[in-house]
Structures are given as structure tokens and as C-alpha cells.
Amino acid sequence: MALRFGLVDGARAEQAQQRLVADIRGRDIRLSTGFVGVSHLLPVLSARGEDGLAWRLMEQDAFPSWLFSVKHGATTIWERWDGWTPENGFQDAGMNSFNHYSLGSCGEWMYQTAAGIGLHPDAPGFQRMVIRPRPGGTLTHLAATHDSPYGRIASAWRRDAAGTTYDIVIPVNTTAEIHLAAASADAVREGDAPAATAPGVRLVKHEDGDAIFAVGSGSYRFVVP
């Protein structure tokens, strides 16, 4: 919570991050959060450069985890991590909903980080947006859409031996800043051309391992080897 809300900075933030990561690893990459903390866990990890650990938590299926219930047949998010377990069966019916949102807050991370659909800090409402997908885990492909006030935003990616292909749709009357993990901007292609010289695409910079492009409305296919 301290990292999420900026209550610590500098060396103390680094120390808090190290303790958080150590705690997660000490629990064999399993969850220990409840209603209040769970929505902040994955976003904090990704914001602090721990995408890999966030993906491992997301894909964990040992109890307690998001996929534990899925592994045992759930098609909705449960109210409790232990709503049912092989050892104890069902929890007390007085507080044991099998269709409950709170623990499903991981969906925010899936849209904003895994798919990378996000607001621009200077332009609320998606008139400008940031698309910053972060492929990871064992997934080979992912696709997500968001119906903004200006139309549908789409972000999809697919990984294979040749690299990662990103298919992105930006609705009319909007612009986007697209961040793609790449060793260099020169390696990124859009369609059949180098992305930096492709129609409707402008290279902004390469920074912190990301090639950053500015685009307007349209459909784009970026390929990163």
C-alpha cells in the first residue's frame, strides 16, 4: 500500500520493494492479500519493474491463487480464496459467494499491463492514450478491447520464435503513444516498413528498453524481433 500511494520514496521505496518481493518469493509465489490489498499488488509490481513476478503470480494455480479456483472448475471469481478446498470442502455459507468481484481486481492489471491499454496522464477520457503491452508468462497470445467514448480501442499480441507481433487499433479523433519493449527502435517494423518511417507513425524516442511511437487513428501492426 505504501508503494501504491507513494508514501515512501527513494531508498525507502527500494527497501519496501525488496521486502515485498522477498515476501512473495518466500510464499512460493502465492498470494497473501485480501480484499483491501489485492487490487494493488500486481500494479505495484509492474510499476516497480517486476513484470515477471507479476506474471508468475497471475499464472500460479496452487492455493491460494487466482487460478486455484479455475483449476477446480470455477467460471466466476469467488469471494474467498478458500471458498472450496479439497481438504476442507465448502466454507461457511454465510460468507462464501461464488460470484464476487473484489478478488477479480486482477482484471485491471490484465487490461492495463498485459494488454497495455491505459490513459494518458495529461488527457483523461482516452482522447489521448498510452498503449504499453507487456507480454509475459507462458501466454503466446492475448487480445483485449476497451470501448472508450471515442470508439473501440484494441490491443493484441502474439509471440513466436520470430518475435512479437502487436495489432493495435486507435479510434477516430484520438491519438496514442505506443510503448514497445525492443532492443532498439530501428528493429521495430510497422507493416512492411521500418516503424520510424511508416505512414502515420512518428518515433518519439527509445528509452528504458522501450521504443516509443506517436500515432493517430487507425490500425497498426508492429513487429519486434
Could you please report the per-residue DSSP string of 68-129?
Answer: HHHHTT-SS--SSTTSEETTTEE--GGG--SS-SGGGGHHHHIIIIIS-EEEBTTBGGGTEE
Q: Is residue 2 part of a domain?
A: no
Q: What is the structure's pLDDT at 99?
A: 92
Q: What is the structure's pLDDT at 138?
A: 98
Last residue of a domain, one of 60, 76, 107: 107
Last residue of a domain, one of 87, 107, 127: 107
pTM of the model: 0.94
- Determine the structural domain holding residue 164 and report its residue range: 116-224
Give the number of domains in the chain.
Answer: 2
Task: Answer yes or no: do 145 and 122 share one domain.
Answer: yes
CATH number of the domain to which 189 belongs:
2.60.420.10
Contact 156/143 with Cβ under 8 angstroms?
yes
Contact 130/119 with Cβ under 8 angstroms?
yes
State pLDDT tens for residues 55-99: 999 999 999 999 999 999 999 999 999 999 999 999 999 999 999
Sheet containing 117-119: give its strands across: 117-119, 128-131, 175-181, 210-215, 201-207
State pLDDT tens for residues 181-196: 999 999 999 999 999 9
Task: Answer yes or no: do 126 and 219 share one domain.
Answer: yes
State pLDDT tens for residues 115-172: 999 999 999 899 999 999 999 999 999 999 999 999 999 999 999 999 999 999 999 9
Q: What is the structure's pLDDT at 140?
A: 98
Task: Answer yes or no: do 80 and 101 share one domain.
Answer: yes
